[in-house]
């Protein structure tokens, strides 16, 4: 159902600096925040690319003590957050710097709230469950997709329950994001495509969210335009800093939008898949996206028309049903052109997994702002189509 045009909305965003070499400003902000010893949260891939070393150099030059925690896998786990929080304590740190994609940043958020609240990270699942604010957190994102550096979200995997769960709270918005497109030049093409499709899904879900606003609409639509027109050129010229910059800008804008609107059925279903398979998040989103557009379209057809236009479709005189199938085809073609050609079955999902997947998706908080509320049967049918 469409909302009133001016329903009450708030917009939360951290301070951020965007541009080439922003990563080199970490020490300046660490000083502003009164840091004494910094916990650097990163992962082995980002360490190997050299981005963490760049940050360490600036910290050393400014005389900061630091400790590096890099035991973070893709889809960060409860035990990785716990081990990181113990390490933070043991090393006597009083500030956190995350350098990496969504996984190190989400893990850093978990470490921050566990350290401040002295509670199990599983107790923060859901909306507004964090009481005490975390230590200062500086984020340097190195992928163009997760937007954890500006968002109120952290996604943690509880391997025991085989669940990826969301922590949604204003308390986990970082204190500053230093958004440096140069760091994305080391991303391989698969990661570039996966993270870009994640950003596209953030923007689309934000634009059709029941909590959207005129401000989030601006960011969401522009992010859709940027991803649509720059992903393929970026894959062809991965060292081109202007293309990389536009993809990073798209990620930022999509993040500012979805952090304030929440998400929808794509993310609810992708989190459920991620809990089962430990599969790349952006790829899960991308495989579900066309089918969820089919499901949601009639709830907000005008909004999907605008999404189609932002992706370059000519919608003049087109009937809604034609628009729906044109958008479905456009998105499928787009993701396949970016190299995402799997199906859920090829990722390892079987028909017998679907009832459990659907139940978990139905319980994911991202589902609340989807423009059409699905039944469990609806969700099962969407998984089957994407199989």
Which residues contribute to the site for Fe ion (CB under 5 A)? 198
Q: How far is the CB of 288 from Fe ion (least distance, A)?
A: 11
Q: How far is the CB of 91 from Fe ion (least distance, A)?
A: 31
Please say which residue, 26 or 223, places its beta carbon nearer to Fe ion.
223
d(CA 63, CA 260): 37
Q: Which residue has the tokens 């970026």?
A: 234
> 67 vs 211, which CB is nearer to Fe ion?
211
Closest distance of CB 370 from Fe ion, Å: 14
Kindly state the greatest CA–CA separation across the chain: 65
As a whole number of angstroms, the distance between CA 353 and CA 333 comes to 27
Alpha-carbon 108 to chain mean position: 14
Q: Specify the pairing of strand 137-141 against strand 126-127.
A: unpaired
Between 43 and 198, CB nearer to Fe ion: 198
* Residue number closest to Fe ion, CB atom: 198
Angstrom CA distances, 204 to 135, 181, 219, 222, 266, stand at: 32, 22, 11, 11, 10
* Nearer CB in complex with Fe ion: 80/198: 198
Query: Coil, strand, or helix at residue 31?
Result: helix
Comparing CA positions, the residue from 271, 264, 267 lying closest to residue 371 is 264
| φ, ψ for residue 7, nearest 5 deg | -65, 150
Q: Supply 169's token pair.
A: 């709270």
Closer CB to Fe ion, residue 27 or residue 361?
Answer: 361
Nearer to Fe ion, 148 or 249 (CB): 148
Q: How far is the CB of 198 from Fe ion (least distance, A)?
A: 4
| DSSP 8-state code for residue 263 | -
- Residue 30 Cβ, how far from Fe ion at the closest point, in Å? 28
Who contacts 83 (Cβ-Cβ below 8 Å, separation ≥6)?
A: 69, 71
How far apart are CB 37 and Fe ion at their closest, in Å? 32
The DSSP symbol for 264 reads -
Q: How far is the CB of 259 from Fe ion (least distance, A)?
A: 11
* Closer Cβ to Fe ion, 246 or 271, answer by number: 271
């Amino acid at each position: 159902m469409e909302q009133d045009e001016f329903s009450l909305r708030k917009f939360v965003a951290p301070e951020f600096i965007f541009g080439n070499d922003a990563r080199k400003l970490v020490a300046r902000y660490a000083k502003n925040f009164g840091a004494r010893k910094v916990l650097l949260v990163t992962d082995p891939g980002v360490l190997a690319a050299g981005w963490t070393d760049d940050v360490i150099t600036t910290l050393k030059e400014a005389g900061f003590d630091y400790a590096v925690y890099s035991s973070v896998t893709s889809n960060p786990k409860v035990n990785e957050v716990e081990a990181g929080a113990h390490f933070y304590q043991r090393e006597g740190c009083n500030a956190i710097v995350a350098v990496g994609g969504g996984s190190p940043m989400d893990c850093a958020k978990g470490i921050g709230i566990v350290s401040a609240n002295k509670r199990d990270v599983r107790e923060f699942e859901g909306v507004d469950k964090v009481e005490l604010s975390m230590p200062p957190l500086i984020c340097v994102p190195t992928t163009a997709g997760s937007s954890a550096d500006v968002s109120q979200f952290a996604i943690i995997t509880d391997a025991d329950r085989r669940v990826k769960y969301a922590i949604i709270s204003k308390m986990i918005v970082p204190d500053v994001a230093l958004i440096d497109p140069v760091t994305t030049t080391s991303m391989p093409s698969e990661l570039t495509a996966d993270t870009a499709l994640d950003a596209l899904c953030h923007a689309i879900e934000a634009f059709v969210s029941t909590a959207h606003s005129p401000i989030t609409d601006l960011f969401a639509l522009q992010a859709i335009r940027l991803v649509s027109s720059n992903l393929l050129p970026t894959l062809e010229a991965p060292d081109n800093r202007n293309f990389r910059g536009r993809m990073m800008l798209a990620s930022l804008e999509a993040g500012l939008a979805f952090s304030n609107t929440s998400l929808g059925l794509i993310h609810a279903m992708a989190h459920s898949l991620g809990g089962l398979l430990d599969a790349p998040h952006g790829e899960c989103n991308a495989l579900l996206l066309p089918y969820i557009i089919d499901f949601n379209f009639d709830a907000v057809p005008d909004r999907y028309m605008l999404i189609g236009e932002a992706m370059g479709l000519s919608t003049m005189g087109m009937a809604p049903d034609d628009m729906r199938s044109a958008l479905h085809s456009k998105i499928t073609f787009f993701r396949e052109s970016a190299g995402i050609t799997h199906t859920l079955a090829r990722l390892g999902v079987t028909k017998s997994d679907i009832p459990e997947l659907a139940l978990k998706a139905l319980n994911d908080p991202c589902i609340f702002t989807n423009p059409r509320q699905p039944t469990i049967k609806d969700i099962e049918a969407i998984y089957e189509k994407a199989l």
